[in-house]
Amino acid sequence: MIQVDGPKAITAMEMDFGAQSDTGCVRQNNEDSFRLAPEINLFVLSDGMGGLASGEVASRLAVEVVLEHCREAEAQPLLPLFGERIGGVSEISNRLASAVRLANRVVHDAARNNGAEQPMGATVVAVRLTDERMSVAHVGDSRAYRLRGGDLEQLTQDHSFVAEEMRRGAMTAQEAGSSALQSVLVRALGIDPEVEVDVSEELVMDSDTVLLCSDGLTRELSDAQIAAVLREGDDAQRTARRLIDLAKQAGGGDNITAIVLRRAAKPAGAFARIGRLGKWFRDV
C-alpha cells in the first residue's frame, strides 16, 4: 500500500533546530557540508572525500542537489521521481530518496568532468519531517540518531566495511572501534552512476530529539557521551555546539558536523532562531 499523504509539513515555528560544523583540530579544510531548510522541514548533511578541494565540492553538491530537488518538488508536485518508487513508504520519503539518487548522479558526473585524477565522493544523511512522520535517507557513514525517553537509538546503519563485518558477525563492536579500516566505505555518493539509498520512516513525538552527524563526531564520542549531551535538553543550537566542543576536546581528528532537531515547546522562540539562520548557511 503506497501512502499518498500530501506534503502536510509542519511549520518552522514548531521546530527548534541548530547546527554547527567545524574543521576539527587536525585537518586543514572542512569537507563536511550541511543545509537547513525549515520551510520544508528538510535537514541534510554530507561528508565529502577526495583529493585537494574535491571533497568539499562533493559534499556541497550533495546537500545542494538534495535541497533543490525537494524544493522543486514542492513547487511542482508532479515532478517525476529520479529512480524507482519504493513501496510501503510515503510520497515524502520517495521524494527524499529521489533527491539522494539525483545527488549521486550529479556528484558522479562532476567527478567525471573533473578528470579522473580527482575522484570524489560523499556520504549523505537527510531527514524530512511532517507532523507525525520523519523520513530518513542515507548513504555512507554519516548517521541519524534519535533520543526518546532518555534512550539513544541509531536510526541509520553505516555503509562501511567495519559495520558490515559487524552485521555479519565477523567483527565485534570493540574490534570495529579500533580497526584501521574504519574509514573504508562500501557505499557512497559519486562512485557509480546509480546508488542504493536506505530509506526509513520514523514516528515523530514531541519529546524526541534527532541528531544528524558526520563520522568526525562519532569517532570521538561514544553513544553514551552523545546521549548525555542530548539529555541535558538545552536548545538545539547550543546542543550542537556542545557536541562539537566535546569532539574537539577528544581530539577532533576529522571534520565534525552536527544538526540537532527538536519539537519546540514554545513557538515564540523559534522566530528569533529563523533570524539567526543566515549565519549557519555557508556559501549559499
Partner 1 sequence: MPKLVLKFENSVLKELPVGTKEVSIGRSPENALVIDNPAVSHYHARVFNEEGRLMLEDFGSMNGTFVNGQRVKMVTLKPGDSVGIGKHTIVISESREMDGFASGNGSTKPAAPKLNETVMLDTKERREFLQKVAAVGESAQVAPARLKVPTLVVRKGKTNQREYTLNDKLTVVGKSGMATVKLKGWFAPKAAAQINRRDDQSYYIGAADKVPSVNGQPIATPTKLSSGDVIEVAGIELEFVYRD
The x, y and z cell numbers of residue 102, run together, are: 539525483
Smallest gap from residue 215 Cβ to partner 1 (A)? 7
In sequence order, the 6+-apart residues with CB closer than 8 A to the CB of 153 are 145, 146, 147
Nearest to partner 1 of 36, 258 (CB atom)? 258
Binding partner 1 (rule: CB under 8 A), the pick from 4, 78, 180, 272 is 180
Q: Which three cell numbers stand for residue 197?
A: 539509498
Nearest-angstrom CA–CA distance, 157 and 108: 23
Measured distance CA(180)–CA(37) in Å, rounded: 36
Least separation, in Å, of the C-beta of 275 and partner 1? 32
Site string for partner 1, 241-260 (x = CB under 8 A): ----------x-xx------
Q: Give the DSSP per-residue string, 197-258.
A: -EEEEEE--TT-EEEEE-HHHHTTS-HHHHHHHHHT---HHHHHHHHHHHHHHTT--S-EEE
133 binds partner 1 (CB under 8 A): yes
- In angstroms, give the least distance from the CB of 59 to partner 1: 11
Binding status of residue 171 toward partner 1 by CB under 8 A: yes
Cell of residue 194, nine digits = 546509480
Q: Which of 61, 195, 221, 259 binds partner 1 (CB under 8 A)?
A: 221
Count of residues touching partner 1 (by CB under 8 A): 59
Backbone angles phi, psi at 6, to 5 degrees: -65, 170
Confirm or reject binding of residue 76 to partner 1 (CB under 8 A).
Answer: no
Give me the residues that bind partner 1 (CB under 8 A), please: 1, 3, 5, 26, 47, 49, 87-89, 93, 121, 132-133, 141, 148-149, 151, 153, 157, 161, 164-165, 168, 170-172, 174-175, 177-186, 188, 191-192, 198-203, 205, 215-216, 218-222, 224, 251, 253-254
